[in-house]
Amino acid sequence: MSSLSRLMMAKNLRCVVRQRFIWIPLSDLSTSAIANGASRPAPALRQLKVPEHEKGHFKYERDWSRDGQYIAQKPGDTPSRVLLRRLGHAYEIYPILFLIGVWAVLFCGIVYISFDKIEVWVDRTSSKSPWAWERIRNNYWKQHTLTFDKEGVSHKRCLMMEQLQDEMLKAAKERAENSE
């Protein structure tokens, strides 16, 4: 056991290991800063003396970044701050933000077009399915069938098909009545 860890145990200190050692006495937590909603905790009143034969970086403060009692976090501690904190001079992030925006717009557009199709049965108040002829007879030509239809080819009414569908529906209803 190193002398630094013995010293920590002797003085009732807590160690938080991140990239380096950060030490804080449990008795020195500043409650006044917490009560006032301070953005950073007060510096520690008692400083720990590092043994002379120990080497390495030593900084005596609390890692307050993820403590909910304080308002601000360290820069770059949350995903939004990593992406947005230095937009003025971090131009390498612009393509990522642009691609995220394009993806979000395309995703919303595809979802909207998909739910506008006849095959998706969202409204279940009717007992007939959305693709039943009685339900789509008056608006089947208005439905989206192609993603890009500049000439409006898919939005034309087919009168011959409507007549044929009406006759088929009438014959199916007669067969259903006769079989009962």
Please name the residues in contact with 162: beta carbons below 8 A apart, sequence gap of 6 or more: 137
155-180 tens-digit pLDDT: 888 899 999 999 999 999 999 888 87
115-132 tens-digit pLDDT: 877 777 777 887 888 788
- The whole-angstrom separation of Cα 4 and Cα 49 is 9
- Using only C-alpha atoms, what is the Rg of the chain? 35
Q: Which residues of the chain have pLDDT under 70?
A: 1-38, 59-63, 65-66, 68, 71-77
- The whole-angstrom separation of Cα 37 and Cα 70 is 6
pLDDT at 30: 46
Residues in the chain: 180
pTM of the model as a whole:
0.42
